[in-house]
Structure 1
């Protein structure tokens, strides 16, 4: 038996493209990639150029003035140039028409006189003579060409030079033939056809006799040259004028812009704190008056600021001195009050109540003096930090423990939401504990009997604690006023905790001393939330907070997405007072 085998077209490698096609496809791909990169680079360069020009346009008064002057002057000169060219062109054409009609009238008179003196049999020879004589009158410059055309068929026309009879428009011929007046002139514009091309021209014609018509063709090349010369000269003058106006605008605006820039620089230096900055006064014009007024304003401002600084220094010194001086008599009164308070059980009920009131007011007086001393230290820049590494969760638990009795008296539950992992940061334990205790006490005081939520969180660079209540909340703008000294949201509201009105101010100063933030959020009827944010490392710049300023439920209500970190915190654990992770 004979074995046979079939071969698939293309052989064993038919499923793969030939090696040459692979190389060509690779080259096209590289070329396409190169073109794409070039296009993107050009697009970025164009965007950068447009952005740079736009920025320069917005920031440079001089550029806007010069550019506007160029645009307006260019538009005005273009309009004036257009009308000027129209007037020049009309004047040249009118003069050419008058001269053409005069020359044609003279030639027509001569031709009529020749035809009247000739016999009918000699008509062809006389037409040749008329054409030759009239063509000779145009001179060597070729002022015009003469064409005599028959009005009826069967006759031949005559033309001087190499001009074609087709140069006369058919429409004009119809007007001339249909004219009832023998010597009435018609004129119009046409293309003069010669053996070597065409040129624009003016044609004038009239009836020479009942059988013939006389036409003059006037080339307009001289007028075109004059128009080109005028147009070129006008463009040159207009360009020079625009550049001159731009230069004038540049010089004029420079005289105004430079003093304005100097005034702006002086104002920037003055606003940055350089109270000795003054402008140079040159001349007696409006800019000089501006400089004088600026210098007077700067001088008055410097005097007022110095007066305020001196007054502030006196006030700070007064508060510090009074606070220190009051501690001595307060210590004596405190000792006497403590003796009376220890023996209050031996006194009658009325005296015992008086001794208890004296003890509570002495404690409030001591808190007020301590707050005044702390404020005076911050004002004097003498406040310092005893930084150590600590877990912010421990600080929260200590502050909640300090407010435990107040929460129990008010029947309020403090809910803790602390992360399972430690949130270690470098901070002054005493000051941070004071901040948190103040925030929690304030929240309990304004919670209207509802729960208070304390949340802590941390990320790579910062830690934060948020204290949330569901009380009366804050009105618009009060989130900043609440940190002012002795400010109260409701002056008519009775104080039950005996606060001094300086707690939030001191807390704000303590947070700033750590390089952190103390911020407030509130809505009427929705409660308030205070957020303390601290950098993990002392002295580092705080760029963000692990907790949102607005409560999560309010953020969701505004259409915002709840951060994943906040969701994890809320789901970690939630307990009552004293709970631990």
Structure 2
């Protein structure tokens, strides 16, 4: 038993931690709890109403009974006094003869009796002179009721709290009713008030019994409602959960998954429609896959087939280019343009072949420890001539320590070179900054330019193949439009991030983040995506 309690206590933090998630995800649990709470509220309101009606009915019945009995006792006393000659009887003796029969009958019928002093004296029961049932506390008679009988008044009653000095048989302490009625004694011709005190103990016991009965009936009723709600919602939620699982498997690529159809109700028709949708999606996805496969094969075949003729054209172009001194100016210029365009065409073929390798899943990594600081300096040296041609310069901000990551140095250099040349194209003669950083999890390079920037939504489109923010803008670096797409594929091959930020007129920043060790999942980058100067002006 102790071991079971210990294991439950150990699991309690886990239960509390997963409880909110279960509440958010489970429609069935929310429906059951909501139904039980609403049912409990309805049962509580109905129970309270019934209790009030029962209480009022019991009290009204009890009041009518005790008032009638009190009036009957008072009338009997009046009849007895009317039969007694007033001058022949002593006042005190007549009071005693009046009260003692009432007290005796009260002991057997369950009520107490109090006879007040003469009304004309204006005295209270607490002042003394009253005759009453033994061991009764006279404070049981409320002063408000006494004040009502300071002069001649008809029968009146009120609720009270009965108090006794010792236990009185048939009259327990607690809530009760006191009824007042007046009589005139022939001995002194004065008015006296008779108070009859009745207990409400039986009514309280009846109310307690009704309350227990309603509670005993209400708890199983709520449990029954919870069970029925659980079963009803289960019939609805179970097909939805099955549809969710099938949808997840469809999203994972298992396009042959289908829902099981049972019956002809709304859920069955929903399952049929879902299956039809899945079949149509499967057909369209297969068509797109086939089209994509044919497209990749076409690109790969064309790229390979163009290798041979382009090599022949290159050889002829080299011969013509070397013979420029012997050609006329127009032909020599044509030879230069031919050489330049052949260079660009070969670069485009290389990029297309690289893209086809990524599409075919044939790209592999030749991983080694790579210092991103060295990579940045090599890329800056390679692009210095292009930067000088564009009237800008590339500035490297070193962190002062190596930033090493396990990566393919050729692919990382290609990524950084594409980012720097892209920044040179859009720098607008302003300086380009290269930031490098690393922490225990990853290493990063950020390339910042202060050129035209990117518009809203363009930071995601910039990695699309052949996409350009401004189609009318010339490519001064001779790019093919595939550089950033290849860079993104190279980054994904490392399990890293390649992200872009930009703002019109304020430039752009591209950030490459690589895990320190291949296979490690990135959770953050050591460099911010939004530049510090952009955050200050925001």
Q: C-alpha distance in 2, partners of 1:537/1:333?
A: 44
Q: 1:511 and 1:196, CA in 2 relative to 1: closer, same or farther beyond 3 A?
A: same
Q: 1:316 and 1:176, CA in 2 relative to 1: closer, same or farther beyond 3 A?
A: same
Q: 1:149 and 1:492, CA in 2 relative to 1: closer, same or farther beyond 3 A?
A: same
Q: 1:311 and 1:219, CA in 2 relative to 1: closer, same or farther beyond 3 A?
A: same
Corresponding position: 1:515 with 2:495:
yes
Deviations 1:368-389 (A, max 9, x none): 2221111111111112334455
For residue 6 of structure 2, what is the aligned residue in structure 1?
none
Q: 1:435 and 1:193, CA in 2 relative to 1: closer, same or farther beyond 3 A?
A: closer
How far apart are residue 493 of structure 1 and its match?
A: 1.0
After superposition, residues 170-181 of structure 1 pair within 5 angstroms as 170-179=143-152
Q: C-alpha distance in 2, partners of 1:193/1:399?
A: 102
How far apart are residue 208 of structure 1 and its match?
A: 1.7
For residue 18 of structure 1, what is the aligned residue in structure 2?
none
Is the deviation greater in 170-179 or in 309-318?
170-179
For residue 280 of structure 1, what is the aligned residue in structure 2?
260
Q: 1:416 and 1:138, CA in 2 relative to 1: closer, same or farther beyond 3 A?
A: closer
How far apart are residue 316 of structure 1 and its match?
A: 0.2
Aligned residue among 75, 78, 87 for 1:109: 75
Counterpart contact for 1:70–1:246, Cα < 8 Å:
yes
DSSP-derived class of the 2:500 partner? strand
Corresponding position: 1:332 with 2:305:
no
Corresponding position: 1:77 with 2:43:
yes
DSSP-derived class of the 1:528 partner? strand
For residue 393 of structure 2, what is the aligned residue in structure 1?
413
Q: 1:327 and 1:227, CA in 2 relative to 1: closer, same or farther beyond 3 A?
A: same
Q: C-alpha distance in 1, partners of 2:217/2:420?
A: 82
Size of the alignment, in residue pairs?
Answer: 511
Corresponding position: 1:144 with 2:111:
yes
Deviations 1:505-558 (A, max 9, x none): 112222322333333333322222333344455555555545443445445656
DSSP-derived class of the 1:467 partner? strand
After superposition, residues 79-478 of structure 1 pair within 5 angstroms as 79-120=45-86, 121-122=88-89, 128-131=96-99, 133-134=101-102, 140=108, 142-151=109-118, 158-159=131-132, 163=136, 167-179=140-152, 184-197=154-167, 198-209=173-184, 210-211=189-190, 212-389=192-369, 391-418=371-398, 425-458=405-438, 462-478=442-458
Deviations 1:441-463 (A, max 9, x none): 22222222233334445555654
How far apart are residue 501 of structure 1 and its match?
A: 0.8
How far apart are residue 100 of structure 1 and its match?
A: 2.2
How far apart are residue 301 of structure 1 and its match?
A: 2.1
How far apart are residue 99 of structure 1 and its match?
A: 1.9
How far apart are residue 106 of structure 1 and its match?
A: 2.7
- The answer for unaligned runs of 5 or more in structure 1 is 1-43, 559-581
Q: C-alpha distance in 2, partners of 1:282/1:446?
A: 62
How far apart are residue 418 of structure 1 and its match?
A: 4.5
How far apart are residue 59 of structure 1 and its match?
A: 3.1
RMSD of Structure 2 on Structure 1 (CA)? 3.4
DSSP-derived class of the 2:149 partner? helix
- The answer for unaligned runs of 5 or more in structure 2 is 1-9, 168-172
Q: C-alpha distance in 1, partners of 2:32/2:53?
A: 31
Q: C-alpha distance in 1, partners of 2:209/2:220?
A: 16
Q: 1:75 and 1:118, CA in 2 relative to 1: closer, same or farther beyond 3 A?
A: same
Counterpart contact for 1:115–1:123, Cα < 8 Å:
no
Q: 1:390 and 1:117, CA in 2 relative to 1: closer, same or farther beyond 3 A?
A: closer
For residue 14 of structure 1, what is the aligned residue in structure 2?
none
For residue 4 of structure 1, what is the aligned residue in structure 2?
none
Deviations 1:214-241 (A, max 9, x none): 4433332222222222222222223333
Q: 1:135 and 1:265, CA in 2 relative to 1: closer, same or farther beyond 3 A?
A: same
Q: C-alpha distance in 1, partners of 2:252/2:233?
A: 28
Deviations 1:262-307 (A, max 9, x none): 3333333333333233333333333333323332222222222222
Give the TM-score taking structure 1 as reference length.
Answer: 0.77
How far apart are residue 483 of structure 1 and its match?
A: 1.3
Q: 1:343 and 1:423, CA in 2 relative to 1: closer, same or farther beyond 3 A?
A: same
For residue 7 of structure 2, what is the aligned residue in structure 1?
none
For residue 3 of structure 2, what is the aligned residue in structure 1?
none
Counterpart contact for 2:106–2:113, Cα < 8 Å:
no
Counterpart contact for 2:324–2:335, Cα < 8 Å:
yes
Q: 1:87 and 1:464, CA in 2 relative to 1: closer, same or farther beyond 3 A?
A: closer
Q: 1:158 and 1:282, CA in 2 relative to 1: closer, same or farther beyond 3 A?
A: same
Q: C-alpha distance in 2, partners of 1:173/1:493?
A: 106
Q: C-alpha distance in 2, partners of 1:235/1:72?
A: 16
DSSP-derived class of the 1:208 partner? strand
How far apart are residue 45 of structure 1 and its match?
A: 10
Q: 1:123 and 1:112, CA in 2 relative to 1: closer, same or farther beyond 3 A?
A: farther
Deviations 1:412-432 (A, max 9, x none): 333344566555555434333
Give the TM-score taking structure 2 as reference length.
Answer: 0.83
How far apart are residue 486 of structure 1 and its match?
A: 0.3
How far apart are residue 314 of structure 1 and its match?
A: 0.8
DSSP-derived class of the 1:188 partner? strand
Q: C-alpha distance in 1, partners of 2:65/2:401?
A: 108
